[in-house]
Structure 1
Amino acid sequence: MLRITLTRVIGVLPVLLGISIISFLVIRMIPGDVVNSIMGDEFSDPAVEQQLREYFGLDQPLHVQFLNWFGMLVQGDLGVSMRSGAPVLDEILLRLPATALLAVSALVVAIIVSIPLGVISATRRNGVLDATTRVGSLIGLSVPNFWLGILLVYVFAVTLGWLPSQGAGEGKPFPENLTHLILPAVTLGVTLAATSMRMVRSSMLEVLGQDYIRTARAKGLAERLVVTRHALRNSLIPVITVLGMEAGALLGGTVIIEQVFSWPGLGSLVIRGISQRDYPLVQGTLLFLALFYVLVNFIVDLIYTLLDPRLRHVR
């Protein structure tokens, strides 16, 4: 187990190096820089622009800029925002709780919806409920989540007035501010639920056809115990992998939804950094999101190994 863990850790290092290079280069492919964003077109002064570029280090060659940034990165310093002057790590940690809350809530919604429906669909194969859930999952995969978010806002916020449509409920008491979480969490959770429900169904169908399931039924074990104790437990191994990958992607996948619902998280922070050409802010946030994704997948690999003892002996 220790050998597998060390192998996974070593494999993560080149991935993070590649992500740091990509995050550094991608933002610089956009026309303009932070100096153009600050000065604008009406107040352009070549002398002032040159001074600002020297101040921000943008006058140096691209490889020198990368080495300077990477040198701070290996020391745990993500740099300082070019616009606010605040440390990038502080900006990320300030927005992280809101995004983490939204991502975890969406994951909970997906689990609550997908696992029961996937099990019922598999145990009642080719029935009306099975057909309904399959059609519903197909719709959930096909509908863009930003369009679904706008639709939910129109129905439940604008038309019915049941739920708030914007913000995270800052300053409101505990039960009331949770109402701001419902619409964005459902919007993100629906797509994830559609994916995981199809995985639960297919995995359950495969397990229910195994010999040990037929043996359990032949011994007279109740169908409920056959499904929950034997079939469901073994069918969840690939489902956990899918949920883990989706959970890692959720933290970065909230960008559009945060814009739709004006949610004060990392997504809106990235959008602000891109619009202002704030290189350290965008680079640091993208790297942080990528690190979280890699970490979640690393944890999923370990859980997968614990659930399936055969993988512990793979060399």
Structure 2
Amino acid sequence: MIRTLLSRGLSLSLSLVVASVVIFVMLQAVPGDPAAFMLGLNAQPDTIAALRAELGLEGGLIQRYAAWVGGMLTGDFGQSYTYRVPVADLVRDRIGVSGPLAAYALILTVAIAIPVGLLAAARRGGLADWGVMGATQLGIAIPNFWFAMLLVFLFAVKLRWVSAGGFPGWSDPLAAIRALTLPAIALALPQASILARVLRSAVLDTLDQDYIRTARAKGLSRRAVVVRHAFRNAAIPVLTILGLQFSFLLAGAIIIENVFFLPGLGRLIFQGITQRDLMVVQSVTMLLVFAVICVTFLVELAYTFADPRLRKG
């Protein structure tokens, strides 16, 4: 077990190094000068040079990369070109929106997908199965940003149950959760559809095993066979999809956060791209890559708890 953890830790460290190099090189290759962009068309060359020095844009690529990575290791993500504040402060303010939003959407995804997937597997070939398959296919096909706009139109414009966007902060937890509900639903719908279909397929594969036939021969009900036996043994592919989905929900909510005007990390990256704030983009992107890799590592650890054979191995 310890050898496995060390091996995975080394692999993840190498992945982080490769990701940091790719992110830094790609953003440095973007045409245009951030200092010239910030100062406008009529800026003087000496003014641009002074701003480049202030922003840390002078020096070679290796020197700037080493300074950036060294700063991140100590918690210094650099200075935002646009906001003129440390990027770490911006991340600290925005993670309080993106993190709970991703967790909320993941909870909704699991709450919808597991009972729906188990129902479809238990009623294989029946009306419920066909209905679930049709509904999940529709959920996968609908773009989440379009579904988000439909939710805004229905619940904010027509029914006026919630506001169309914005975030009131966590001083009022109920208001904050209410503001995150529609974005979480918009994010959860396609992910729940995917997870339900994966769960149905995994459970159906498990139902063909010999020990399931033995459980049925002992007189167990269909519900007990599906929930107590088949679901537990179909958990590994479900855990894999959940890990990928949480990573997507955390790092891929840029469009949803812009639809609902949520001050999260996705909106921060979008603003950094439009304002050519490369320090914000590369630091926040690297932070999200780190979160994705950590979630992947935790999912692999969860395999050992879901499957005793892996613990013995």
**TM bracket (short chain):** over 0.9
SS of structure 1 residue aligned to 2:22? helix
Alpha-carbon shift at residue 63 of structure 1 (Å) = 2.7
Alpha-carbon shift at residue 5 of structure 1 (Å) = 1.0
Where does the alignment leave 5 or more consecutive residues of structure 1 unmatched?
none
Deviates more, 1:180-189 or 1:126-135: 126-135
SS of structure 1 residue aligned to 2:174? helix
SS of structure 2 residue aligned to 1:178? helix
Alpha-carbon shift at residue 184 of structure 1 (Å) = 0.3
For the 8 Å contact 2:168–2:176, the answer to whether it is kept is yes
> How does 1:1-315 map onto structure 2 within 5 Å?
1-41=1-41, 43-170=42-169, 173-312=172-311, 314=313
For the 8 Å contact 2:75–2:88, the answer to whether it is kept is no
Tell me, in whole angstroms, the C-alpha distance in 2 between the residues paired with 1:111 and 1:74: 34
Task: Pick closer, same or farther for the CA change 1:47–1:293 going to 2, 3 Å.
Answer: same
Tell me, in whole angstroms, the C-alpha distance in 2 between the residues paired with 1:45 and 1:298: 50
Show CA shifts across 1:215-253 (max 9, x none): 011111233222211111111221011101111221111
Alpha-carbon shift at residue 188 of structure 1 (Å) = 0.2
Deviates more, 1:174-183 or 1:1-10: 174-183
User: Partner letter of residue 30 of structure 1?
Assistant: V
Tell me, in whole angstroms, the C-alpha distance in 2 between the residues paired with 1:88 and 1:176: 27
Alpha-carbon shift at residue 87 of structure 1 (Å) = 2.0
For the 8 Å contact 1:167–1:262, the answer to whether it is kept is yes
Tell me, in whole angstroms, the C-alpha distance in 1 between the residues paired with 2:38 and 2:133: 51
Where does the alignment leave 5 or more consecutive residues of structure 2 unmatched?
none
Greater RCO between the two (CA within 8 Å, min separation 6)? 1
Normalised by the size of structure 2, how large is the TM-score?
0.94
Aligned residues: 313
Normalised by the size of structure 1, how large is the TM-score?
0.94
Alpha-carbon shift at residue 123 of structure 1 (Å) = 0.7
For the 8 Å contact 2:122–2:222, the answer to whether it is kept is no
For the 8 Å contact 1:103–1:250, the answer to whether it is kept is yes
For the 8 Å contact 1:35–1:52, the answer to whether it is kept is yes
Alpha-carbon shift at residue 78 of structure 1 (Å) = 1.8
Tell me, in whole angstroms, the C-alpha distance in 1 between the residues paired with 2:150 and 2:246: 24
Show CA shifts across 1:62-97 (max 9, x none): 232222222323334222222333222222121101
Tell me, in whole angstroms, the C-alpha distance in 2 between the residues paired with 1:174 and 1:89: 24
Deviates more, 1:102-111 or 1:268-277: 268-277
Alpha-carbon shift at residue 313 of structure 1 (Å) = 5.1
For the 8 Å contact 1:81–1:278, the answer to whether it is kept is yes
SS of structure 2 residue aligned to 1:77? coil
Show CA shifts across 1:1-21 (max 9, x none): 111111110100111011111
Alpha-carbon shift at residue 59 of structure 1 (Å) = 3.2
